[in-house]
Amino acid sequence: MAVPPFDLCRQLETMGPALDRAVLEVLHSGQYIGGKVVAQFEDAFAQSVGTAHAVSCNSGTDALILALRALDVGIGDEVVTTAFSFFATAEAISAVGARPVFVDVDPGSYLLDLDQVEAAIGPRTRALLPVHLFGRPLNMERCMTLAHRHGLKVVEDCAQAAGSRWAGRPVGGWGDVGCFSFFPTKNLGAAGDGGCITTNDPRLAQRMRELAVHGMAERYVHNALGYNSRLDALQAAVLLVKLPCLPSLVHARQQHAEAYGRALARVSGLVLPRQGVAGHSWNQFVVRIPGVGPQIRNQVRDTLQQQGINTIIYYPIPIHRQQAYRNLGYGIGSLPVTECLADQVLSLPMFPELTADQREHVVDGLRLALMGTGQPQHPGSAL
């Protein structure tokens, strides 16, 4: 039995006809940029996040760039963030001319370690850019308290966390701005690229809206140097069909996570993600395979691969150790938890339509693969 890391086609079995109709309707409307469908999606998305405004754009990366630009973060400024994330988190900070300042992650949650943030704040710090990585919500009450104490803006990277909540409130509505991605493998996936920015601040919303269309306030009147970053009407139509399904898609992920957690609870040589985290949307189910260096993890991954079980490593090289950021001067050992995680993490197949059979195949395969490592196995080895 083959188990893919995600299966984007299986959703079509249920949503296919509605998606077909929605796409054809746009195709025959002749309105491909902007228009009613895009506005409808923005309204629906704002409502789902509980913010006053949602501004759609071309990608999650653009959402971050537009948010930082609208907050006037630029050259000479610093933004405190995590290096254990997708590259775009930091890339967006650099794209606006600012400098990412990396703080290590908490070894329990893999999220920005709020205990270490204050030490990274300096006179040039303008904003915090936390990431709800793998769908796990960061403690946003603490994050906002910290930001307010230092007069900082907060941009939430919600790319992996559509449908996640902290303290019962959707992520993306806590910070000054929330940035979402509709890349096909995210919790709410388009049929291509797409993104959205949420905010309660009408002035910010207006700025982001203008920046996404060449800084244009009214036709051919440009207030700022902006971007061409629009959500296609076709994508908006796809997303409008899928948005009402988001809660049930997230619920299915939560059930898979629970089942993985139960089945793997007593397997040694494996550290599971914390179970029972309220509001976790489980974009990924990431286990940790302790060892010195990545060898054991890689061996387990290869063994799983031979059994048709496709896992992914999010992320094998932390952002601060990427060639593109060598100029920032973060040496080996500068973010020890992040670097350790990069060597040990493995994402098991996780998507709403995963079947119980597939899940069991993954669990059995993982047990076998771990036995084959020949390592002394103790559960929960400390980082």
Asked if 109 is part of the footprint of ligand PLP (rule: CB under 6 A), the reply reads no
Q: How far from chain centre, in Å, is Cα 307?
A: 28
Q: Determine, following the binding rule CB under 6 A, whether residue 146 of this chain makes contact with ligand PLP.
A: no
Shortest distance in whole angstroms from residue 178 CB to ligand PLP: 12
Our finding on whether 131 is near ligand PLP (CB under 6 A) is yes
| Binding map of ligand PLP across residues 195-214, x = CB under 6 A, - = no contact | x-------------------
Q: Which two tokens stand for residue 366?
A: 């993982």
Question: Is there binding between residue 344 and ligand PLP (CB under 6 A)?
Answer: no
* C-alpha span between 12 and 90 (Å, rounded): 34
- For the record, the structure tokens of 104 come out as 């290590």
Least distance from ligand PLP to the Cβ atom of residue 160, Å? 5
Number of residues assigned to the chain: 383
At which residue do the structure tokens 């493995």 appear?
346
* 137 binding ligand PLP? (CB under 6 A): no
Q: Rounded CA gap, 171 and 20, in Å?
A: 30
How far apart CA 312 and CA 297 sit, in angstroms, is 11
**Alpha-carbon distance 229 to 63, whole Å?**
9
Q: Bridge-partner residues for 347, per DSSP?
A: 286, 312
Using the rule CB under 6 A, is 189 a contact of ligand PLP? Answer: no
Residue 85 binds ligand PLP (CB under 6 A): yes
Selected range binding ligand PLP among 6-14, 81-89, 146-154, 334-342, rule: CB under 6 A:
81-89
Choose one: 72-80, 156-164, 328-336, 337-345; the region binding ligand PLP (CB under 6 A): 156-164
The answer to whether 135 and 110 have CB atoms below 8 angstroms apart is no
Q: Are 350 and 312 in contact (CB under 8 A)?
A: no
Identity of the residue, 88 or 101, whose beta carbon is nearer to ligand PLP in the bound complex: 88
Helix axes 10-29 and 233-242, enclosed angle (nearest 10): 140
Residue number, 89 or 344, with CB nearest to ligand PLP: 89
Residue 178 contacts residue 199 (beta carbons within 8 Å): yes
157 is an interface residue for ligand PLP by CB under 6 A: yes
Which range binds ligand PLP by CB under 6 A, 18-26, 57-65, 203-211, 375-383? 57-65
Q: How far apart are CA 373 and CA 294, in angstroms?
A: 12
Interface pick for ligand PLP out of 38, 55, 159, 239 (rule CB under 6 A) = 159
Q: Does 347 bind ligand PLP (CB under 6 A)?
A: no
The span from the CA of 285 to the CA of 3, in Å, is 14
Using rule CB under 6 A, residue 61 touches ligand PLP: yes
Q: How far is the CB of 369 from ligand PLP (least distance, A)?
A: 26
Applying CB under 6 A, the residues found at the interface with ligand PLP are 59-61, 85-86, 88-89, 131, 157, 159-160, 181, 183, 193, 195
